[in-house]
Structure 1
């Protein structure tokens, strides 16, 4: 804040010095002593007083501006923190909304079974498959991708080897079997695929 007022203070002091020099020169021309007051002295006092009032007004204005900007920043900070908090709190809202129809279908299927309305196995099977496909569609729209490494070379970034099995008819480090599926969310692996891997025969 002090640095902001320096130009104003410098201006006041410069004007004051200029007036003092003029007065000294005028007194010297008229043979007056330096400490003797003249009408010019009174003018200088009035001018300096006027400059001082202007500087005070400018300082007050700058202080008001600073306080207003500080208040605006605090309001912006609180608003941003609130928005971030709500975003984190309701981050799963879209996914939950997408899953609600699947949740409803499962509930209706269970109710139907409990009431004895679904006795035929094939009908039940078709219902479960439809629900699974709907659920799978939701997950894929959210960016979920299944890792399928069967028959491919073992990749430490995608796979987790549960066991190595010696094989003479398969290239070493080949995925022989998937024990548990792995998944990627967009480009990030969120669960490694648990696999059995071939090794050289003993």
Structure 2
């Protein structure tokens, strides 16, 4: 074999090897491309699933928020419903009493009936957290009492509640109406010309 033939064979072999390398690289690129496309498709599907889950959760939360808002509005709107329902029997008792007042021959029975209704109403208020402020005989307390008058009272400490003109009430821990009262005045501070009852200004309001 001549030297030229040998060179040609070597060149052909080199070309074949280069072609094989090129084919191998091309195949690797194709494989990598297929792998990347598969990954992209998987990620797109995963993103679509996550987006769908997010939208469903967002819709569920919106429905939950709307339901809670409606429940809160209903609680505010019908907050007094239970109390009113329990108050209706007391009103029924009053109506029945009014129907029999005209024909009643014994005023004591009428008074007793009204007292029973009053006690029933006060019990209902107490169950709702409404309590009457104790006033008569208690030391005057600006937190609970509103003094309208002062009156001389022998043997009683100054600023003691002598009488109650209008009852006061507490709802849970809040005063909703102060008791309007008459309080005792210090007898040592009264002169012979002082009046028995002196109106005074009050710092409280209803």
Q: CA deviation at 1:76?
A: 0.4
**1:32-111 mapped onto 2 (5 Å cutoff):** 38-111=26-99
- The 2-side partners of 1:126 and 1:151 are apart by 26
CA radius of gyration, larger in: 2
User: Which has the higher mean CA deviation after the structures are superposed, 156-165 or 183-192?
Assistant: 156-165
Provide the residue aligned with 1:112 in structure 2.
100
Taking only aligned residues, the RMSD between alpha carbons, in angstroms, comes to 2.7
Q: Deviations over 1:139-184 (max 9, x none)?
A: 2222222111323222221112223446675444332322211111
Instruction: Return closer, same or farther for 1:169/1:33 CA change in 2, 3 Å cut-off.
Output: farther
Provide the residue aligned with 1:161 in structure 2.
147
Instruction: Return closer, same or farther for 1:167/1:103 CA change in 2, 3 Å cut-off.
Output: closer
Gaps of 5+ in 2: 1-17, 191-206
Gaps of 5+ in 1: 1-29
Q: TM-score under structure 1 normalisation?
A: 0.72
Q: How many residues align?
A: 169
Q: CA deviation at 1:56?
A: 0.6
Q: Deviations over 1:98-119 (max 9, x none)?
A: 2111111111122223xx4323
User: Which has the higher mean CA deviation after the structures are superposed, 119-128 or 55-64?
Assistant: 119-128
